[in-house]
Amino acid sequence: MQQLQEGSFLKATALLDETIFEGTTIFLTEYNDKGTVGCIVNKAFGRSINELSEFLYVPEFPLYNGGPVATEYLFFIHQAPAIIPGGKLVKDGVYVSGSFKQAIEALCKKQVDENDLKIFVGYCGWDKDQLEGEIAEGSWKVVNDNAVFAFE
C-alpha cells in the first residue's frame, strides 16, 4: 500500500459503487494527527460560479462537487501563488486556499484558468484514523502521483 500523505489521491473502489463516492478521485489537502481533508476532483457540480447570485459578475467557470461536508461553502486549490496569496503548499506546486477575493479577481482579469484554479462546493473529511480504516477495508486505493493531476 502506498503511504497516505498530503497530496495523495484516493481512488474509490467497487466497494463504494452506488454511493456518492462511486467513481471518485479525491485529492488530499490535509493529513495530520487530527484527521484528513480533501476534495473530489473529478465530479462536476453542474453549475458555473457565475450562476451563484453573489458571483454573477464573474466569467463562466466550472464548479466541482468537492464532497458532502460544508456544501454551503466554496473551497479551492490553485497553482498561482504569485497571483493568489496566502495559500498553503500541498505538493508539487499545488496550493490549497488563499485569498478567495484575489482568486476571483484573477479569474475576472483572465490571469488564471482551469489549469491554474479549481473551485469546489463542499469537501470530504475524515476524523483521525477513520480514513485508514476505510482504506484497510478496501474502499479506497491510495495513489501518490504528481499533484498537478488534480487539474486534469
Read off the pLDDT of residues 63-119 as tens digits, 9 standing for 90 and up: 999 999 999 999 999 999 999 999 999 999 999 999 999 999 999 999 999 999 999
Report whether pLDDT(50) > 60. Answer: yes
Q: Which domains are delineated in the chain?
A: 9-146 (3.40.1740.10)
Amino acid at 151: F
Q: How many residues does the chain have?
A: 152
State how far the Cα of 88 lies from the Cα of 126, in Å rounded to an integer.
19
pLDDT class of 128 with cuts at 50, 70, 90: very high
User: What nine digits make up the cell of 22?
Assistant: 462511486
